[in-house]
Amino acid sequence: MAATQPQNPTGAKPRTLFDKIWDSHLVVPRQSGPSLIYIDRHLLHEGSFHAFRAMRARKLALRNPSQLFGVADHYVPTRGRSIEQAASPEVAAMITQFDANMDWAGIRHFSMGDPRQGIVHVIGPEQGLTLPGMMMVCTDSHTSTHGALGSIAFGIGQSESVHVMATQTLWQIKPGTFRIRVEGTRAPGVSAKDVALAIIAQIGADGAVGHAIEFAGSVIRGMDVEERLTVCNMAIEAGARSGLVAPDDTTYEYLHGKPHAPAGEQWDTAVAGWRKLPSDDGASFDREAALEAEHILPMVTWGTSLDTALPISGRVPDPESIADAQARTAVEASMRYMGLAPGTPLTDIPIDRIFIGSCTNSRLSDLREAAQVLRGRRARIPGIVVPGSGLVKAQAEALGLHKVFTDAGLEWREAGCSMCAAMNGDIAAPGERVASTTNRNFVGRQGPGVRTHLMSPAMAAAAAVTGHLTDVRTLEAP
């Protein structure tokens, strides 16, 4: 269990949530350059084979295997659970090697056939592996997701993974703190994904570089944990090192009874410590920004970076109206790749395929959101729906959501990262436009030449039934 820092004595300098967690994990503090910090939880997936190869080559032993956890997610097939369904013999070997690496190291893990298997950033919170006050790492950039439960969580490289496995510590430069408040009341049809895209549209895809974002304000406090997970997942897309939400009663209710969460008297002790974590009144942040929820509409991206997000009522921008030469060149490049003309209404953009899934939007609430739009309707275009874990899949099927998707003409798959990173054979065709609930719209992200438009599950479902980008709020009840 993560250490927690006691509340400051009266008169002490107010501290942020980030500072409290960081300070409680310092092993070797330094005023400049990297400090050595203690790592509570190290999450691994099948792409971590490079780190295990290095561990063996250097004859290193794991410092504390009980604080590591593994799951196969990036490369696993979603059409079934057979290794023969892997995208290639090389991918099949990687999945098999993952199990061998976990067994060699004595690390608890969920193999592809385990009913609890899923995307690492879905199963972490789901299993109670993610807890407030923790310092967490994983060899995946979207590790920021786990900050929704009040932890510092960030992605690391393979060499850093070796260091954590061997020492349970890591050298890191402390980032700055950046509080982003979202105040007011969300309009109907505005999801957590829309909030995240609106934040990035305002501050830019590099707007939080060198910082850890604390998401705050009445809108964030009013979100359930699954919505907070979506927002923190997208923090990395604003250039942030991590994203956090202060733990509160919503957090504790979500975690209570999870398989790896504290229980009994340990639970009471843990919650008492967690309640001291939120930023103190008067705590100073290096940067601050604010958004009014009333101004946030359903969002979509039109280009090849996250800051090309616009309200669905918008139009593709005209490069000639952009004064900055570098920004104008970037917009022109995006338009060429995306095959769009200046001034095109976003609702006129046709869609060839949809994807609902990823560590951003594959939880039960996301599937419910999409099913609400699709129920009683038929999709005009093909698409796949991939739950975030085997447990999410079972819950969705118990509610009949899978039948809503298949009745609409979409494919219902097994858990995994799937088309988000296109590493497992789930890709679109060159030139196709995909309405996607994922977190990245880079060139070729979902396959060579594929054009990705990011949006919420409800908006992706709306695109499925109309065949073009659509404001979900304009669809009549089926």
For residue 154, give the CATH number of its domain. Answer: 3.30.499.10
Q: Which of 378, 358, 377 is nearest to 366 (CA)?
A: 358
Yes or no: say if 76 and 47 are a contact pair by the CB < 8 Å rule: no
The domain tally of the chain equals 2
* Tokens 């990297």 found at: 34
Boundary (domain end) residue, out of 269, 290, 311: 290
Boundary (domain end) residue, out of 290, 308, 330: 290
pLDDT digits (tens, 9 = 90+) for 215-270: 999 999 999 999 999 999 999 999 999 999 999 999 999 999 999 999 999 999 99
Instruction: Please give the single-letter amino acid code of residue 86.
Output: A
Asked if the structure places residue 193 within a domain, the reply is yes
Q: Same structural domain for residues 439 and 458?
A: yes
Yes or no: say if 122 and 140 are a contact pair by the CB < 8 Å rule: no
Asked if the structure places residue 12 within a domain, the reply is no
Asked if the structure places residue 427 within a domain, the reply is yes
pLDDT score of 2: 47
Q: Say how many C-beta atoms besides its own lie within 10 A of residue 342's C-beta.
A: 14
Q: Same structural domain for residues 403 and 462?
A: yes
Asked if the structure places residue 206 within a domain, the reply is yes
d(CA 66, CA 112): 21
pLDDT score of 12: 86
Low-confidence ranges of the chain (pLDDT < 50): 1-7
Q: Same structural domain for residues 272 and 322?
A: no
395 token code pair: 């819950």
Q: Which domain holds residue 309?
A: 300-472
Q: Same structural domain for residues 319 and 199?
A: no
Asked if the structure places residue 335 within a domain, the reply is yes
pLDDT score of 421: 87
pLDDT score of 8: 53
Query: What sign for the dihedral angle of Cα 120, 126, 127, 129?
Result: positive
Q: Same structural domain for residues 286 and 332?
A: no
Q: Same structural domain for residues 197 and 306?
A: no
Q: Which of 137, 135, 134, 125 is nearest to 225 (CA)?
A: 125
